[in-house]
Structure formats: structure tokens, C-alpha cells
Amino acid sequence: MQRGFSLDAVPWWIWPVALFAVSFVIGIIGVLAGVGGGVLFVPIVGGFFPFHLDFVRAAGLLLALTGALSAAPRLLRARMASLRIAMPLALIGSITSIAGAWIGLALPTHVAQMALGATILAIALLMLLAEKSEFPEVPAQDRLSRKLGLSGTFHDPATGRDHDWRIHRTPHGLFAFAGIGLLAGMFGLGAGWANVPALNLLMGVPLKLAVGTSGLVLSVIDTSAAWVYINQGAVLPILVAPSIAGVMLGAKIGARLLRVVRAGTVRRIVVALLLAAGARALLKGTGVWS
């Protein structure tokens, strides 16, 4: 009996071309919604492309890593990112991201798919519910924050004004970044979706400084986890290169569209995409829709 459509029948060259196209769109949407590419890339490519999840997670990490590496110098020079805030958080996160990558590669594929689906659905929920505070109220620094010298002045180029900032709940922040690192390594997700709320709402970092510092932390966390995948030989250039090129190009277009597109609408599109990709990963993991 003739079976339905088989992925084996698709010529191989379709996949890198499709990857480039999908990554290009992810690059545009990621910039407009402020989520980076990795969180969309892994569930979408893992769910709808033929590559094994091991290769997709490695590509997702490298995608997020290259994006963060290329943006960080500009953010640091503009004082829109703080190395002083990033370093302690990145140290904890990079250790746990290695553990996360280790766990992710050890899990049976269907379990990893289900866990990825559940995580993506939780991220979509977080994006729906999370609030933001441009300049959070920080009544007092905690002891660790004082010891680490986590205070300063942030110059907002949009308003031309200086804002003093200081950090609280530093131990909670370190704990949060331990969890973020674990998830980033396990699923190959960039962690901007979690970094920004943790820095902004939990630790009291001004929003714009939190966004910039998030990228810097991500570049360190993803580097550590990426090495685990590189050392396993899980990097397929034919998957990685078109994806990086597509996202980088899309991100440039996205940055130009920022002024004309309504952020709220894009955010709703991203939540819908995450819900669909998360559900697909869950169904794939449970064997309902392989």
C-alpha cells in the first residue's frame, strides 16, 4: 500500500536551503520580539526537519553563541552591558550548562523531545505572563552584591539621562542562572528568554542593561555547553552554516523593521510559534506524531 509523504524522498539539498529560509525568518522575528534565535530554532528545526535532536541542539547553541558574540563588543563599548554583573552569573551558568549538555546527550531521544516540548510550552507561558520594569526599585544591596561591587551608573542613550543602579537578591540570581545554564545546555536554547527576567525582575538590573548583559552571559554559558557537543562530533556544518547565515541576515533585517513593526504583535506571533513547536516536540516525544 502506498504510504504518505516520506522525508526520505526529499532531495538532500532542500534541507540546507529550507534551513536558511527558516533561520532567516527566525532571525527577523527574534530581533523584533527580543528573544534571540535559539529558543525558536531548536523546537522548530527539531520538530519539522529530519536532523536528529543532538545535531539540532548543537546548532542551536552555536547559533545563539555567534549572535551573542557578535553583539557583545558593541554593547560593552556602549556601556549597555556590564561585565561585572555578567562574570559571576556566567561562571555558575557555564558550569551547569556543561552538566545540562551532558544530561541532554545522555537522555533517550524521546525523553529529550518531551522535556524540550514541556520547556518550550513553559517558556511561552513565561513570555505571556512576565512583566518588565524599566528601572526596578532596589531598596538595598545585599551583602554579596556589595562585596562584588554590583552598582554603578547607566547612561540611557535614548533619553540622554544617567540612572544609578544597584543589585539585590544576588544569591537568588546565582541560583536562577544555575538553572538557566542547565536548561541552555540540555536543550541547546539560547537563554535570553530567562536571562532578562532574572536580571531585571529578580536582581533589579535596569531593563536595557539587563538585555545587553543577558547577551554577554549567554556568550559564556553557551560556549561551555557548545564544547560538549563539539567534542561529541555533533556539529554538522551543513546544518550550522546556513542556520547562522540565515539568522544573522534576518537579524539585520529585523533591526531595520524594529521602528515600523508593533512589538506586541510580534511577541504574540512568537508565543504562538512556541506553543506550536512545543506541542509538536511533545507529540514527537510521546510518539503520537513522529
- Sites of contact with other proteins (CB under 8 A): 12-13, 15, 50-52, 54-55, 62, 65-66, 69-70, 72-74, 76-77, 79, 82-85, 87-88, 90-91, 94-95, 98, 101-102, 105-106, 109, 147-153, 219-220, 223-228, 230-241, 244
CB of 103 to other proteins, least distance (A): 8
In terms of DSSP H, where are the helices of the chain?
Answer: 14-33, 38-48, 53-77, 83-106, 109-129, 143-148, 170-187, 192-197, 207-231, 237-257, 263-286
Contacts of 124 (CB under 8 A, 6+ apart): 271, 274, 275, 278
Burial class (CB within 10 angstroms; exposed 0-12, middle 13-18, buried 19+) of 241: middle
Closer residue to other proteins in complex, CB, 242/274: 242
> At its nearest, how many Å lie between other proteins and the CB of residue 272?
28
Gap between the Cα atoms of 89 and 69, Å rounded: 17
The phi and psi torsions of 135 (rounded to 5 degrees) equal -130, 90
Q: What are 145's three cell numbers? A: 552584591
Spatial CA neighbour of 257 closest among 34, 98, 13: 34
Smallest separation, CB 31 to other proteins (Å): 18
CB atoms within 10 A of CB 186: 25
CB 45 within 8 A of CB 51: yes
With respect to other proteins, which residue has the nearer C-beta, 3 or 259?
3
User: Closer to other proteins at the Cβ: 151 or 156?
Assistant: 151
Task: Specify the residue, 5 or 12, whose C-beta has the smaller distance to other proteins.
Answer: 12
Find the shortest distance in angstroms from Cβ 253 to other proteins: 18
Least separation in angstroms between CB 30 and other proteins: 18
Rounded CA separation 70/85 (Å): 19
Give the residue from 12, 24, 81 showing the smallest Cα distance to 50. 12
Angle at 259 between CA 65 and CA 78, to 5 degrees: 50
User: Judged by CB, which is closer to other proteins: 156, or 223?
Assistant: 223
Distance of closest approach, residue 256 Cβ to other proteins, in angstroms: 20
**197 vs 212, beta carbon nearer other proteins:** 212
The nearest distance, CB 257 to other proteins, in angstroms, is 23
Nearer to other proteins, 176 or 225 (CB): 225
